[in-house]
Amino acid sequence: MKLIDFVIGALLINAMPHFIFGITKTHFLGLFGFSSKGNIYYALVQFILGIGLFCNQYGFSKFFENGFIIGGLTVMFLYFIFGKFLLNKFQLKNPAHNK
């Protein structure tokens, strides 16, 4: 394993929880502070950097040949597309919880 592979994996994996913290409005420290928008922006920056490093290291053609990358990105894209909808649909409707 090369160090660049570790960095690419760390960036892509760390983007997911920051995005989830952002859409759930959970205050969690990221590069851009504790805000939900800051966490979403931080997730996007990490995602773009991770994909950019992968394409720079291995080329764009290898992108579609790597099952780990495709699987992880599929889950991430599904969160980007459906995350807010699923959160609103399945969030607890307990009045005591919302106080």
Lowest mean pLDDT, pick from 16-20, 31-35, 75-79: 75-79
Q: How many CB atoms lie within 10 A of CB 37?
A: 11
SS3 14: helix
Q: Which residue has the higher pLDDT, 81 or 15?
A: 15
Question: Would the pLDDT of 88 be above 90?
Answer: no
- State pLDDT tens for residues 39-67: 999 999 999 999 999 999 999 888 888 88
In the DSSP assignment, the letter for residue 47 is H
